[in-house]
Structures are given as C-alpha cells and as structure tokens.
Structure 1
C-alpha cells in the first residue's frame, strides 16, 4: 500500500508544474464554494483601444498611451492574448472591433475583454451613448458630423450579441448614462462562484455616468489595474475576481478620488446575462516557473490530493507497468 501511494504521489508532483502552467494560459476550470470543478475558458483575448490625440475639437488625453500599456501588462500576466490599437479614426475603430470579433469571438470556449479609453458622449437624455474616435467633431459645433463619425453604443450592443464566446466584458474609461445598457444595482456582497457563473454573459462597466467628464489623468484605469494586480477587487478572498466583484470594487473606490461614479450592467438579453466574467488571480503569479518548494502550499496540496484521487482509479494498470519496469 505504501509503494502504491509513493508511485501516485510522484506522478502528481512531476505533473504539477505543467498543470499549473496550463491553468496560467487561461481559466480552464475553477472551484466553486463546494469544491466542484466548473469549466470556463480555454483561451483569453483582449482588445485594447486608446484615443489620446483628437483632431476635430475634443481635448487630448495625453496619459492614455501609458495607461493602455499598463492595462496590457496586467492582462498579459493574466494569460490574455492582447491586441492594441491607438488613436483610431472612425473607420479604423470599427474595423478593430469587427476584426477582433471575427478572429476570436466565434469560439464558445473563449473569454473576451474589450477596453476603450477615450472620450464618450451621451445624447437624447441618456438614451444613446457614443465612443469618440480621433476624427469625430464636437456635437455642439457639428451635430451631423459627430453622428457620422462617432461609434454608437447600439453598435457595441449588436456586436455583443453577435459574439459566440461564453463571456465578454466591456470596460470603458469613458462616461455614459447607465441607460445605454441594463444597469443593475450591485450587491453589497458579490455572489460566490457557482455553476451559474459559467452561463453566458455580456457585462459592461463605464468610468462614469452622463454629465461627468474624463479627467486628464484617469483614476478608473489605475484602480482597475490595482484591483487585479494587488488583488484588491477580490472582495471575498477566494482567489477569483468576477465581473460583479469588479463592478462593486470600482463603484466604491473611484468616487473616493474623483467626481465619477462607475456604472455597471449586463446586456438586456436574459440568455446573455446569467453568468459572470472571471479573472483567476493566481494566473498573475508565475507559479509554473517557481521551484516546487516555493509555490503556494495550499495550491500544491489541493492539486496533489485531486491527482491522487484521479490516478487511483487507474492504479492497477500503472502498477503492472511499474512492476514490469522493476524486472528489467
């Protein structure tokens, strides 16, 4: 019995680094509060768009390129493949979304994150929102030109419905009315990971509401980065940050530093609003490249126990193979 245990234990320990490395590339399975495995994503992709240099009247936002680089770094550490576009005009902005969705949005096992930093505009008493590309004029000076060049949030919603990836999170470091999506009152205590988490979802978080302005130096973006990088958005301490947790964290933290109140919501389609986007915080730590004795004891022990349980099923076959090797 002791020999059998040693064989399985050695197999588990040898396979531990590669198992953790595979988990780093995305979120393949997570554990709910009951310890059950929930399959989520095989691959993760992020589209980052920053508009800092405006050519038709809007004030420039000089800090955006550096902020986009910071977001890119934290998402790469999270296992995302990142595509970045800076200062697109209307045509380039539209193509950036369409190409990204065509390339990565049609696989149900993908996780998609969209991040836009730049000016936003709300019209018709908050019923319509727009992303402002480099070549959009001020609506107060050229209304028709603005409507021709700005990208309406209705188009973002259409793309969100077109996506077949299980989870998509849209983050806008811009200010809109919450009525452009299905705004929800966020819970004081976010729900724990459950089987419902894996259901499809399209979530939206904006830096502020209609009438609020984007500051020259963003607060929303560094608060978002700190939430993942320093685990501040993990409100229940389970090692994961859900889209809901991120919304609660941003709504509580950003107004402490600037007159902006982030807005959170989901798409109005019921079938696309049941799940929750998930970040695995451990993915940001290079566990796979760390010697076994320095990796997290709990993570190590949990994996070995599960590995033991699974390999035990095939124990007789492996013992036959081991015994044959010993006779050589």
Structure 2
C-alpha cells in the first residue's frame, strides 16, 4: 500500500470516528434521534472541516434546517455574523441558542456585549449575569458586567438620616455645641464613602454612618453627601439653628441639676453568672454584679435591670438588649451594660478574632451559636438612640475591633460640654485573649478596681466626673500591676468621639 492509499484510509477512519463521536454527543448539543437530526450532524461536521467560512456557514445553516433544536450550529453561525459586524443577525442566532438552553458562558457574554452596544441594557444585564452564573471567574464577563452596571445605575445612593430626626430642609433648634449626624446610605452598587460637611465619616459594611460636627450660633447647614462604588453621588441638606445655652458651671459637677443638664435618664443592664449549666462555675460574679448595681444606684442610674445566674440565658440577654432597651431609651440618655461571667475568643480562618460573652445556657463545643458575639453587641448601638453607651466586661477575650482612644482633655468646662453632646460607644474588658480573671477578697480583681475608679479614684482632674477615657487610663495599669501582669484590661471606643460620664458621689 503506497502513501496515497494510506492517507485515504486514514481520512476514512477519521470520518468514521467523528461520526461516532457526533452521534454520542448529540443529546448534549440539543439533537434528537430523528433522521433529520442524524443528517444534521453530517452537515455540522462538514461545516467544521470546511475550507472557508462561507462553506461552513452554509453547512451549519443546513444542519439547523434539518434539526431546529441543534444548539451548536446557532452559536457558530451567530459568531460568523458577529465578526462581520452584522449585529442584528448575530443577536438573532445567539438568542436562539440561548432559548434552547445553551450552557456556553462565552455565548452569553458575546450576546450581552452586542446588546450592550445597541443600548439594550436590561437584556444585556440578564445575559451577562447568566454568563457569570456558569463561570463566575470569567474575566471578560466580569469587566463587561461592571460596565453594564455602571450604565444602568445612574442614580446616587439613598440617604436616610436617623439623627437629627427631621425632614429635608426643616430648621431645628440645637442647644449643644456639637451635633451628631447619624444615618444610613444604601445603593445596589455599594457605598464608597459618606461625608458630612465635606468631612469623611466612619462607615460600616451596611452603610451606617456617624459624625459629630460643631454647631455655631445661628443657622448651620448640614450637608450629607454619599457616593456609590460607580461614582454616582447624592446629597441631602438640613438647616440647624444653634442657640446659646446656659449650663451651670461644671468645676466640679456636684449638683443634681448639673448632672441632669448632661443626661436625661441613665439605664444599666447588669448580668452576673456563677452557676453555669455546662461551663465551669465562678465564685464572685454574682457578688460583683450586685456591687455594681449598688454603686450605680448611688451615682445617678435610675433604671437598672439585674439578670443573675439561671435567668441569664442567651434569649433573655438578647431580648433585653435588642427589644426592651430600644423601646425605652431616648437620645439624651446613657446606657451601661455590665457582664461578669465567662468570655471566649474564636480564632477565625482568615486570621481575625471574634469575641463572645457566654450565657448560662451556652454549649461548650458549639458556643458560637449559643453565646452572644461582640458583633451582636456592637450592632446594638445602631438600634438604641442613647448618645452614650458603655460596655463593661468582667471577662477576658479579644476580637473587639477597638479604635484608639483620645487623651484626657484639660479644658474641663468646655470639654465636658463638648463630649457630653457627642455620641460615643466605649468598652472595657477585664483582659485579653488567654488571660485569666483574678479574684480577690470576695470580688473579681477587675470589678474591685472598677468600683474604686467610678467612686472617684479615676477622677484624675478632681471635677467629680470620671470620663470613659479616664477610666481606661486608670484601670489598665492598675489591674495589670495588681495581677502581676496576669490580666491587662482592654479599653477603646467602638464608635463616636464623645465620652461616657460617671458622676462621683458628692460626699467623696
């Protein structure tokens, strides 16, 4: 057998196997077993091995004529027309392949790109989303999706103000030197930033923002501006009329009227757990909680909720924090949350940490779902209107996400006026991850010094007021040294720029 005969035999064998392969894959390409579709496969493969694109196109069209449910020829014919800039015809063929249920992510991308060029944004958006649903990491589809979203989304974010609570353009009176501007900005493309009077604000993953700004006498225009991730912007403006206020001298703060001028009502939720159901028991947590209650009653807290031992379930704690408190707390109030019990830190796979407080009924092996996380604790601040919130945790853990604290301000009169009007959420814990809470003389070491601190020992400037920052500055070294560095409290602020104020008993 010469070379020519061998070549002809090879081609014959190749054609036989191609036909067998086409028959085996027919069902996956939308081809049924009828005689027309059998013939369609023949023309399809003739088209694949055609000498030029015109011959190929004729063969593919013949395959479609014989078997209208054959998906692949529509894709190939459509692509011929796309390359020839015959956009409408290409779209017709691509759409037919789509209607037949193709799973070709490239086809949906090409169809989306043609529709986008013609300005059919909704159809383009649907097809590019379909492409990404089949292959989420297809770079061309990701880029086109971004362009389509930008073309569709021409509007800026929606801005809602929680504080001050007023309609757009309405004038309100503000008797403090500072105004807390708090709200939420939302947009389907995501929020890039929010600014209040051109000052960038803190912004969480949900679009909640907060900024304290100074208020002058007369009319103050507050402008809140937000931008989405595509660069679209929106803004709202309100007018605030600042008027002079007459606050009694605050050096020192000793009278009831002085205290009432800084706060409306003062709330405390106090939790102490000795007898855990599944965790090791503690000795002095309940005693600590009672001591905190007695001291707070003497220093101006008029609404105290005490939750002890078997009552301190996860459900009861969450109900108190997320339902009862929001119903009764006002904007000019302060809230203190005290917890004495077990704390736990979870090391996250990505390298971060997540802190928990452990209720009485928490599981030991699945505490993440039966405890109360710091994420839940932090979210409380967006649900209650109190201008000052302070978390006191007599337990050790990490993963708090604290901001750096500001230093103690020495201009006392003006400083107290200023920080009392600014919203803040502060927290202090007995220690960090891996540290053990020390107990001494019937109380936890941390709580013993905390009580001494708010009774006046942390009043660094002797103005009868202990600020949150003074408290942290006193407790960190004091507790660390007293425990021989076995536990060092963590202190910081979760949001805001103000200060929580504790009033020292007048006779001290």
Taking structure 2 as the reference length, what is the TM-score of the superposition? Answer: 0.45
* Number of the residue aligned with 1:256: 481
Check if 1:201 corresponds to 2:424: yes
Name the SS of the counterpart of 1:101 in structure 2.
helix
Change (3 A) 1:100 1:235: farther
Shift in Å, 1:82: 1.2
Q: 1:274-313 alignment to 2 at 5 Å?
A: 274-281=497-504, 284-285=505-506
Change (3 A) 1:147 1:74: same
8 Å Cα contact 1:183-1:263 kept in structure 2 = no
* Number of the residue aligned with 2:113: none
Check if 1:184 corresponds to 2:410: no
8 Å Cα contact 1:169-1:204 kept in structure 2 = yes
Change (3 A) 1:239 1:99: same
Check if 1:132 corresponds to 2:366: no
8 Å Cα contact 1:45-1:104 kept in structure 2 = no
Structure 1 unaligned regions, length at least 5: 1-19, 30-39, 288-328
Check if 1:86 corresponds to 2:313: no
* Number of the residue aligned with 1:174: 395
Higher relative contact order (CA 8 A, sep 6+): 1
* Number of the residue aligned with 1:47: 269
Structure 2 distance, partners of 1:128, 1:181, is: 9
8 Å Cα contact 1:77-1:285 kept in structure 2 = no
Check if 1:77 corresponds to 2:311: no
Name the SS of the counterpart of 2:359 in structure 1.
coil
Q: Greater Rg, structure 1 or structure 2? A: 2
Shift in Å, 1:100: 3.9
Shift in Å, 1:210: 0.9
Name the SS of the counterpart of 1:214 in structure 2.
coil
8 Å Cα contact 1:126-1:210 kept in structure 2 = no
Check if 1:23 corresponds to 2:257: yes
Shift in Å, 1:264: 0.8
Which digits, 9 at most, give the CA deviation of each residue in 1:187-224, with x for residues without a partner? 4x555541430200001111101111223551110101
Structure 2 distance, partners of 1:251, 1:118, is: 19
Name the SS of the counterpart of 1:28 in structure 2.
helix
Check if 1:218 corresponds to 2:441: no
Which digits, 9 at most, give the CA deviation of each residue in 1:279-308, with x for residues without a partner? 121xx2379xxxxxxxxxxxxxxxxxxxxx
Check if 1:165 corresponds to 2:411: no
Name the SS of the counterpart of 1:180 in structure 2.
coil
Change (3 A) 1:174 1:242: same
Change (3 A) 1:279 1:147: same
Name the SS of the counterpart of 1:52 in structure 2.
coil
Name the SS of the counterpart of 1:225 in structure 2.
helix
* Number of the residue aligned with 1:98: 322
Name the SS of the counterpart of 2:448 in structure 1.
helix
Structure 2 distance, partners of 1:219, 1:104, is: 33
One of 327, 333, 336 as aligned partner of 1:110: 333
Change (3 A) 1:70 1:192: farther
Name the SS of the counterpart of 2:362 in structure 1.
coil
Which digits, 9 at most, give the CA deviation of each residue in 1:14-38, with x for residues without a partner? xxxxxx77438xx223xxxxxxxxx
Check if 1:122 corresponds to 2:356: no
Check if 1:59 corresponds to 2:303: no
8 Å Cα contact 1:205-1:265 kept in structure 2 = yes
* Number of the residue aligned with 1:303: none
8 Å Cα contact 2:343-2:355 kept in structure 1 = yes
Which digits, 9 at most, give the CA deviation of each residue in 1:22-70, with x for residues without a partner? 438xx223xxxxxxxxxx21111111011211111x2111211111111
Structure 1 distance, partners of 2:269, 2:397, is: 20
Kindly report the root-mean-square deviation, in angstroms, between the aligned alpha carbons of the 2 structures: 2.3
Change (3 A) 1:185 1:274: closer
